[in-house]
Amino acid sequence: MRSTYLIGFLGIVACAAPASAQSTGTVNINGSVADRCLFTTPSATISVGELAQPGSGTNAGRLDASKLDGQTRNLVGWCNGTAATMSVEALPLLNIDFTAAAPTGFDRRVDYSAAAVANAATATDTSVGAAGGGSAVSVGMFTGNVAVTLSSSSSPTSGLLVAGTYQGQVIVTLTPNVSFGQTSQ
């Protein structure tokens, strides 16, 4: 009987013994990040007040360029791709109260140049001439300020400015140029 128990015990031990070879499985993890740009502070305002020169001299009532030239405001943004670009479009300041053609000797438009600087790259445009923005420049991967500065302001005929409210815009566009497609495995 003792041998019957011993044989049964040895049989149980043999079945419970670990295998001599291991086997490994793998779980692969894949992901991606889209190439994109974003303004975290997408707008700023330049309020210059009276655009015309004061006084009673020959320049009174004409554009005071010092009100616009040198004005700078910061937008804040980022791009996470190495081939990102930035472009600028300067839209003139137009009198929104007087929309007819200005009489001889008067102007209802103020033109200027705009420059935006991000990641040591400068994009420019002028509001004079054809519609559409200036050429795009490479800004690559960056995060931080996009400094927008105005310069070279003028009116078409250097005439007297028509009374009213003037509005214009500088549009800065950040563009991601590379898009790595999603892969699945």
Looking at this protein, which amino acid is placed at residue 147?
Answer: A
* Integer Cα distance of 152 and 94 in angstroms: 16
Query: Is 107 a member of any domain?
Result: yes
pLDDT per residue over 123-165, tens digit each? 999 999 778 899 999 999 999 999 999 999 999 999 999 999 9
Query: Is 35 a member of any domain?
Result: no
pLDDT per residue over 50-100, tens digit each? 999 999 999 999 999 999 999 999 999 999 999 999 999 999 999 999 999
Q: Is the pLDDT of residue 12 over 80?
A: no
Taking the CA atoms of residue 125, residue 128, residue 129 and residue 134 in that order, the dihedral angle to the nearest 10 degrees is 0
Q: Is the pLDDT of residue 184 over 90?
A: no
Query: Is 157 a member of any domain?
Result: yes
111: Cβ–Cβ under 8 A, 6 or more apart, which residues?
A: 92, 93, 126, 127, 128, 153, 154, 155, 156
How confident is the model at residue 6, as a pLDDT?
Answer: 47
Q: Which domain holds residue 77?
A: 50-175
> How many structural domains is the chain composed of?
1
Query: Is 23 a member of any domain?
Result: no
Query: Is 182 a member of any domain?
Result: no
Query: Is 28 a member of any domain?
Result: no
* Integer Cα distance of 125 and 171 in angstroms: 10
- H/E element, 31: none
Query: Is 136 a member of any domain?
Result: yes
How confident is the model at residue 132, as a pLDDT?
Answer: 86
Query: Is 17 a member of any domain?
Result: no
